[in-house]
A = this chain, B = another copy of it.
Amino acid sequence: LTEGQPRLQRQLALLMKQRGIDFKAEEILVTAGSQQAIDLVARAFLNPGDTVAIEAPSYLAAIQVFDLCQFRPLQILSDAHGARVETLPQVGQAMPKLAYLVTNFANPSGATLSLERRVALLKWAAANEVFVLEDDPYGELRYRGAPAPALVTIARDIPGAARWCGYASSLSKIVSPGLRVGWLCLPDAVHDVAARIKQALDLQTSSFVQEIAAEYLESGRLAQRLPVIRATYNEHCDALSDALTGAFGEKLEFNRPDGGMFLWARFAQTPSLDTRKLLELARNRGVIFVPGAAFYPEPLQCNSLRLSFSTATPAELREGAKRLRTAYDELLRLSENRITREPA
């Protein structure tokens, strides 16, 4: 069965119901992680040269998938409330074929798309017939505040919108990344195309792995496990946030995320600072991060960086923030020296 093992589909439908998303078990398409989910939707919609609206910064691996389809990126800058959807093209302008967003605690920005923007995005999608894929691997990792409904849920109240949005998620961040189990909730017509593509790509996701995932979900252990994961990440996030503020003060700007695994920060006072160079120095001191430039199909912000706090301990994160500051000072010194030595 290309679509998935019925037992897992049933469990995923229950999980979705807890997220306020109402899809029948047989409407859920099981994928090899949400990475394949993105690929299936990309291949269902895109021809080489087609445009995809993506957040900027955006999930690196999604950019890679769209790159394989030879896409043209339309970068929608994001802020603390997610992608600034009001900057999407207006009626009469060239439209993308697809829009792709990580709506909750986005990778890398950590931002969550506001309800207001979700509604605006769906109205735009329905009016312009652009398919929107909501990727939500992190939504369950919320440790503060109330969740906004998924696009597919909101779409039921917006005329014509349900045909133009889909939802992808994954067990990678809440059960195990090694399982490689994700899923898609799509409108019927898109579901059928995506299932046919999946059949051609890998016939099905390992039924063995699917049964194991179903067994785990049936056991009810996820419900016990999630509060522990949330509390841990919350503690890590606070430790890192406090340590960064302590080490950098206003030199480093960031929003404390309400969930997820990532903190996105920007050296606001030094716009010419390139975090790729900072990484070289930080690595020597045992600190790594992902330079912000990696998250833009066309690099826009070289003074930003993504810090991950999921696996390091609070003590390590505090030490890391200090060492990052040392590396930062070193980089500034090197830059000043270079400027001094450069001919006028």
Q: Interface on A for B, CB 8 Å cutoff?
A: 32-33, 35-36, 39, 43, 47-48, 61, 64-65, 67-68, 176, 178-180, 196-197, 199-209, 212
Contacts and interface: CB of A to CB of B under 8 A. Distances in A.
A47 to B, nearest CB: 7
Contact of A206 (B43, B179, B196): B179
B47 A201 contact: no
Nearest to A180: B206
A61 B201 CA distance: 8
Copies, count: 2
Contact of A178 (B197, B201, B206): B206
A36 B178 contact: no
A200 B61 contact: yes
A204 to B, nearest CB: 7
Secondary structure of the A contact surface, majority rule: helix
A35 B32 CA distance: 13
Given A43-B68, A47-B48, A209-B209, A180 B201 contact: no
Contacts of A176: 208
In the A-B complex, list the 8 residue pairs whose CB atoms are closest, starting with the nearest.
A64-B200, A178-B207, A180-B206, A32-B202, A178-B208, A36-B202, A35-B202, A65-B200
Given A35-B202, A179-B208, A180-B203, 9 more contacts: A32-B32, A33-B202, A43-B68, A61-B203, A68-B197, A68-B200, A178-B206, A180-B205, A209-B209
A16 to B, nearest CB: 22
